[in-house]
Amino acid sequence: MLRTLFSGLILLFFCSSSLPALAAGKVNLSFPTAATTGALYPLGAGIANLWNSKLDVTARVQASNGGVQNLNLLQSKEAQVSFAVSSITYEALHGQRGFAGRDYKDVRILAGLYYNPNQVVALRGSGVDKLADFKNKRFAPGAAGGTTEVESRVHFTAAGLKYPDDIRAQFVGFSESIDLMRNKQLDGAWIMAGVPTAAVTEMCATADGKLLGMEAGLIQKVQAEYPWYSEFVIPAGTYDNQKEDVRTTAVKMLLLTDASMPEDLVYNLTKTFWENLDELGKAHAVMKTVTPEMAVSDLSGIPLHPGAEKYYREAGLLK
């Protein structure tokens, strides 16, 4: 009788814990990504499909407003895996800016991925040739609480603008930005995603948009204050009517989880991810540029999950 009662209490404990819920023997993983027109949504779907087919998990991808919301969902245990760039994750870890007073000490890296460039699109004929020209212009910095909104603030401030007061901000997602630009109701938009990305392709091909570069001085100014930024070149011809290379800033895209996730589960997720890298290249072309060495480089001091670290040591990527 006591043994039965004890077993029942143990079962109740696991069912009510903060670990991913179990359904029909499978671990459920909520996986928020970003807007459906960006690179992360199809990439997340590809990763989820891979895990679902190879492991005893049910990973469900959902659209989101991007990095800040994703980190909030991870911290509240409403998500188990997600994406965010290294800059936003660093701020969450240390309780800076938008995360002041609510630092997320338990955020952990499952994998470092590709460099995620800032892509600024301006409407042709708007008189905009550099970031400072967006003063008093109609601009979409991204959905409120998303990664691009933070990136807009950092770069417009470095360009000498008071953000958001100096721009006529419209806090909308990629899809809405495309429609507004197509209807000449928007002078520009900020997009952060791997290249090529559908939103920039559509803006340049159907909405009379042009990709805007950043001056060397602006890039250096941003790097001096935020050392996680790298200079990045979007090659000529990446988008319609892009005749020259475009220089911009970029940060590392990270695949994230929470410290509370079981070590063996994260180990298996990590191992399956890297052992099927070629398959993920079919989900989005940006993954064809990713190498295993990128998993553990330029992580801005954000800790790896022990399960991921175990795999990287076995693979010889960490000593």
Nearest to 114 by CA among 136, 87, 85: 85
| Global pTM value | 0.72
Q: How confident is the model at residue 269 (pLDDT cuts 50, 70, 90)?
A: very high
Q: Which amino acid belongs to residue 88?
A: I
CA atoms within 13 A on the CB side of 26: 14
Q: How confident is the model at residue 282 (pLDDT cuts 50, 70, 90)?
A: confident
Rounded distance, CA 164 to CA 156, Å? 9
**Domain boundaries defined on the chain:** 21-114+254-314, 117-251
Check if CATH label 3.40.190.10 holds for domain 117-251: yes
What is the tens place of the pLDDT at every residue in 41-65?
999 999 999 999 999 999 999 999 9
Q: Determine what percent of the chain is predicted with pLDDT higher than 70.
A: 92
Comparing 13 with 199, which gets the higher pLDDT? 199
Comparing 94 with 174, which gets the higher pLDDT? 94
Mean pLDDT (whole number) for 9-29: 53
Return phi, psi of residue 294, to 5°. -70, -15
Task: Tell me whether domains 21-114+254-314 and 117-251 share a fold.
Answer: yes
Mean pLDDT (whole number) for 194-205: 92
Q: Which amino acid belongs to residue 307?
A: G
What is the tens place of the pLDDT at every residue in 72-86?
999 999 999 999 989
Residue 291 has pLDDT above 70, yes or no: yes
Nearest to 99 by CA among 90, 108, 109, 112: 90
Q: How confident is the model at residue 14 (pLDDT cuts 50, 70, 90)?
A: very low
Mean pLDDT (whole number) for 264-280: 97
Give the total residue count for the chain: 319
Which pair of tokens denotes residue 208?
């009379």
Residue 286 has pLDDT above 90, yes or no: no
Looking at every residue in the chain, the average pLDDT score rounds to 90
Q: For position 3, what pLDDT does the model report?
A: 41
Mean pLDDT (whole number) for 22-31: 77
- Own/partner contacts of 152-155, CB < 8 Å, gap of 24 or more, are 152/190, 154/87, 154/222, 154/226, 155/118, 155/131, 155/214, 155/218, 155/222, 155/249
Q: How confident is the model at residue 298 (pLDDT cuts 50, 70, 90)?
A: confident
Nearest to 158 by CA among 130, 183, 195, 186: 130
Rounded distance, CA 273 to CA 267, Å? 10
Mean pLDDT (whole number) for 116-135: 96
Query: Following DSSP, what letter does each residue of 295-310 receive, concatenated?
Result: GGSS-TTPPBPHHHHH
Check if CATH label 3.40.190.10 holds for domain 21-114+254-314: yes
Q: For position 285, what pLDDT does the model report?
A: 82
Q: How confident is the model at residue 284 (pLDDT cuts 50, 70, 90)?
A: confident
Q: How confident is the model at residue 20 (pLDDT cuts 50, 70, 90)?
A: low
Please list the helix, strand and coil fractions of the chain in percent, rounded to the nearest 5, in that order.
40, 20, 35
What is the tens place of the pLDDT at every residue in 149-193?
989 999 999 999 999 999 999 999 888 999 999 999 999 999 988
